[in-house]
Amino acid sequence: MKRAVFFAPFIGFIALVAILYAGFHLNDPSHLPSALVGQRFPGFELPELTSGKVLGHQTLLGEIRLVNVWATWCPTCLHEHTTLMDIRRATGLSIVGINYRDDGEKARRWLSLYGDPYDFTIVDANGDLGVELGVYGAPETFIVDADGIIRFRHVGDVNDGNWNREFLPILDSLTDG
Partner 1 sequence: MTTSTSDVLTAKYESLDATLGTLWGAGPEIGHLAAIIGLVAAIVLSVLGHVGAATRRRSWVENSGSFAVLQLITLVVAFVLLVHAFLKDDYSVVYVVSNSNALLPWYYKVSAVWGAHEGSFLLWTLIMAGWTFAVAMIGRRLPYQIYGRVLGTLGLLNTGFLLFLLQTSNPFLRLVPNVPTVGADLNPLLQDFGLIVHPPLLYAGYVGFSVAFAFGVAGLISGRLDATWARWTRPWTNVAWAFLTVGITLGSWWAYYELGWGGWWFWDPVENASFMPWLAGTALIHSLAVTEKRSAFRSWTVLLTILTFSLCLLGAFIVRSGVLTSVHAFAVDPERGVFLLVLLGVTVGGSLALYAIRVPAIRGRIAYMGLSRELFLLINNALFVVAVAVVLVGTLYPLAYEAVTGGDKISVGPPYFNRLFVPLMGLLAVFLALVPVARWKRTPIRLFRQVCWLLLASMLVGAVFFVVAIMSDRVLNIGSIVGVVIAVTLALWLLLSHSVDFIQRKGARPLGYLGMLLAHIGFAVGAVGVATTSVFSHETEVRLSPGDTVELNARQYHFVSVTTVNGPNYIAQRAKFDVGGISLYPEKRNYLARDSVMTEAGIEPGFFQDLYIALGEPLPDGSWGVRIQEKVLVRWVWCGGLLVCFGGLLAVMDGRYRRLALRRDGLATAVKAA
The site for partner 1 (CB under 8 A) is made up of: 2-3, 6-7, 9-10, 13-14, 17, 20, 23-24, 26, 28-30, 71, 73-77, 79, 100-101, 105, 109, 127, 136-139, 154-157, 159, 161-162
Nearer to partner 1, 59 or 163 (CB): 163
CA distance 147 to 60: 8
Rounded to a whole number of angstroms, the minimum distance from the CB of residue 9 to partner 1 is 5
Nearer to partner 1, 95 or 135 (CB): 135
Q: What is the DSSP letter of 57?
A: G
Nearer to partner 1, 161 or 177 (CB): 161
Rounded to a whole number of angstroms, the minimum distance from the CB of residue 20 to partner 1 is 7
Pairing assessment for the beta strands 54-56 and 120-124 based on DSSP bridges: unpaired
Nearer to partner 1, 61 or 168 (CB): 168
Q: What is the DSSP letter of 60?
A: G
Rounded to a whole number of angstroms, the minimum distance from the CB of residue 58 to partner 1 is 28
